[in-house]
Structure 1
């Protein structure tokens, strides 16, 4: 005699047994195959669930699909976590090199962008998974790190100031000393741990200096332009 085992909590089919099992002590509920309606496709056990009456077995492919998606998303998250963890040594090395002065913030940001690409790719994969309409497709679904993420463009204070000439810096310092509207920006600049060239505040400050005549026309765009080429990273 064939019997199907249903989980007591979820009411989902979790397997089947052959033969008579009197006094079954497992955590599931047993239902004889002969008691299941011929209209129910018992070969697809993953879609079977037991009604509250403890007797009637029904088929729920929608719930089966949702369960398959939930399981695959959990695996995608775990896979993404492993990929990110695998870059931990690269991030630690880049930060140590930057602290020691052997590297740059660009090296750190390159690794941060790599890790962010993994996160965004896994999120995109989960969204793509939601569009699938059958369990087989969900089970066969594969993803990869295919979302491109541009690295932040950050500079140290020293690197940022190096983009200005001595005369420009002197003009800025004099303007700040004269209590100009530039002072709040300069104070925020002084307190920042690093300078992001893509930060709206940085861009507004550079443009304000140009508008005030502290730097020549077109210099704001030059100052905010492409960051220096990243130095080769030693393995």
Structure 2
């Protein structure tokens, strides 16, 4: 028995995924005639209800970014404040230099996390912003 039918792609696609009660999934097309056992079941099932809408898969945000992608997570005001602080604070300057020299920024790297927390401790970012930037 069919448990559910959902579209496999955004409209106007007629491609569908049929989930059986035992968990097996089958792919077919709702526009095809009921010329197989599966399509016959599908057509009978569709006579009483519509397939579920297509839901695009959730794509996780990349955890490894280019330096530009990482800096784009900062607001312009935050970026200016950190740059200005780098002129007065050696610690901030070292962090900026290391960031500029990096090939990529890993959001899970303890150095990235510590650097952002140091910016928060210096009053350049809030802890909430650090959490958002690392998300």
TM-score, normalized by length of structure 2?
A: 0.52
Matched, 1:204 2:114: yes
Cα shift readout 1:143-192 (whole Å, capped 9, x = no counterpart): xxxxxxxxx72101111011111100000000111134112121111111
Unaligned runs of 5+ in 2: 1-61
The structure with more helix, counted as a fraction of residues: 1
* Structure 1 residue matching 2:124: 3-state secondary structure: coil
Cα shift readout 1:61-85 (whole Å, capped 9, x = no counterpart): xxxxxxxxxxxxxxxxxxxxxxxxx
* Structure 2 residue matching 1:218: 3-state secondary structure: helix
Q: Matched residues in 2 for 1:188 and 1:198: separation?
A: 16
1:162 aligned residue: 72
* Greater length-normalized contact order (CA 8 Å, ≥ 6 residues apart): 2
Choose 1 or 2 for highest CA Rg: 1
Q: 1:173 aligns with which of 83, 92, 95?
A: 83
Q: Report deviation, 1:201.
A: 0.4
Note the aligned Cα RMSD (angstroms).
Answer: 1.8
Q: 1:182 aligns with which of 68, 75, 92?
A: 92
State the aligned residue count: 75
2:6 aligned residue: none
1:127 aligned residue: none
Tell me, yes or no, if the aligned pair for 2:117 and 2:127 is still in contact at 8 Å.
no
How is 1:137-156 mapped onto 2 (pairs within 5 angstroms)? 153-156=63-66
